[in-house]
Amino acid sequence: MKDNITVSISSIHGTKHFSFGKRTRHTFKLISYIIFLGVLLTAGIIYYLVTDAEFSKKKLLELETKSSTLTKEIDSLTALKTSLEQDLADREERMLVVSDRLDDLEKLLGMDDQNSAELLTRLDTATINSSVRVAMLTHIPSGAPVINARISSGYGKRKHPVLGIIKFHRGQDFAVNTGTPIYAPADGTIEVIRPAKKGSGNFLRIMHAYGFTSSYSHLSKFAVEKGDFVKKGDLIAYSGNSGLTSGPHLHYEVRFVGRSLDPKPFMDWNVDNFDTIFKRVRGIAWESLVGKIELRVSQQLQPSSQKAALLTGTLK
């Protein structure tokens, strides 16, 4: 009996006695230890979770601070990029103005007409074969960049529709609705794509062969990216009303080594009236250009044996 513990419970119904032996006591102790350890383990887990939550909260605050800092830096860089693009656009506009003034000075001094008669007599367009014609019409702007569009303003002096002052209009305006497809007038590389809300608006320029470029202003959307190679007839953009305009239209320019040219002769230029470009567009060494293209085409058309013989003779 010494190893037993007796517990007596009295009530109105009498007294009850409960006897616990040594094994039962050990079982109670074991259960108590397990409960105690469970409580300690639970407390430890709760403490760990609370600490981890606090650590995570601090990390989240740090990340939010870094995110806010990065957002400010991105906004600053975006503003700098916009400023640099606008500065570049302004510089390009000033360069074009200088080029145009030089062009006006050349015309005033009569430099455009130097040797023009001699050139036309020496340039026998009848000898220009079809391959040369195709090569020139493919690599130099020809035809209109939009289909069946009315010309609303031509090349030359005019009263600006928005500013109301007399200015020299360096291109050709087409009265087209916003979203009209625009096509490349010749093979080339997309040299400039410049989104803008003033001046020329959304602007695109193609660098063609032999020093010629074509440009497109007031666009609504670009269909190409800078550096893309395009072929004659490829879709490049859509017309719009961006920039300084009085309504939706396309402003189209053709330039040679930066000097603006009247786009009309190039729009009318095709195989049937091939020689007219030499008379209508002065200030370009057409004879030299045709000669170089003739040489290139003739070399391309030569049989491989003739090319090898020519190369051997050159090496000797």
Residue 176 maps to which CATH number? 2.70.70.10
Both 181 and 289 in one domain: the answer is yes
Cα(316)–Cα(310) distance, integer angstroms: 10
Residues 110-133: tens digit of each pLDDT: 545 545 555 444 455 445 678 888
Residue 187 included in any domain: yes
The residue among 66, 95, 121 that closes a domain is 66
Range with lowest mean pLDDT among 31-35, 104-108, 221-225, 241-245: 104-108
**Which stretch of DSSP H or E encloses residue 19?**
strand 14-20
**How many domains does the chain fold into?**
2
| pLDDT at 176 > cutoff 90 | yes
Instruction: Give the tokens for residue 87.
Output: 């500065």
Residue 230 bridge partners (DSSP): 188
Q: Which residues constitute the domain of residue 36?
A: 20-66
* 165 domain-assigned: yes
Is there a single domain that holds both residue 198 and residue 57?
A: no
Q: What is the pLDDT of residue 262?
A: 93
120 found inside a domain: yes
Task: Tell me the per-residue pLDDT of 226-240, one tens digit each, with 9 for 90 and over.
Answer: 999 999 999 999 999
A 10 A CB-CB count for 174 gives: 22
Please check the confidence at residue 198 and state whether its pLDDT lies above 50. yes
The reply to whether 53 and 200 lie within a common domain is no
Residue 123 belongs to some domain of the structure: yes
The verdict on residue 106 lying in a domain is no
* Whether residues 50 and 167 fall in one domain: no
pLDDT at site 99 = 66
So what's the pLDDT on residue 94?
A: 74
**Predicted local confidence at residue 174, as pLDDT:** 94
pTM equals 0.61
| Among the ranges given (32-41, 140-149, 151-160), the one the predictor scored with the smallest mean pLDDT | 151-160
In what helix (H) or strand (E) does residue 46 lie, and over which residues does it extend? helix 22-109
**For residue 313, which phi and psi values (nearest 5 degrees)?**
-65, -35
Three-state SS for 143?
coil
Residue 238: inside a domain: yes
58 and 117 housed in the same domain: no
pLDDT of 246 reads 82
Three-class SS state of 245: coil
Q: Using 50, 70 and 90 to split pLDDT, how confident is the model at 1? A: very low
pLDDT score, position 180: 96
Mean pLDDT score across all residues of the chain: 82
pLDDT for 141 equals 97
pLDDT of residue 84: 81
* Higher per-residue pLDDT: 267 or 6: 267
| Confidence band of 92 (pLDDT split at 50, 70, 90) | confident
* Final residue belonging to a domain, choices 66, 94, 127: 66
Q: CA 126 to CA 272: how far, in whole Å?
A: 12
Is residue 179 located within the same domain as residue 118? Answer: yes
Query: Domain for residue 41, yes or no?
Result: yes
* 171 within some domain: yes
Residue type at position 286: W
Model confidence at 225, pLDDT cuts 50, 70, 90, reads very high
Query: Do residues 131 and 297 make contact, with C-beta atoms less than 8 angstroms apart?
Result: yes
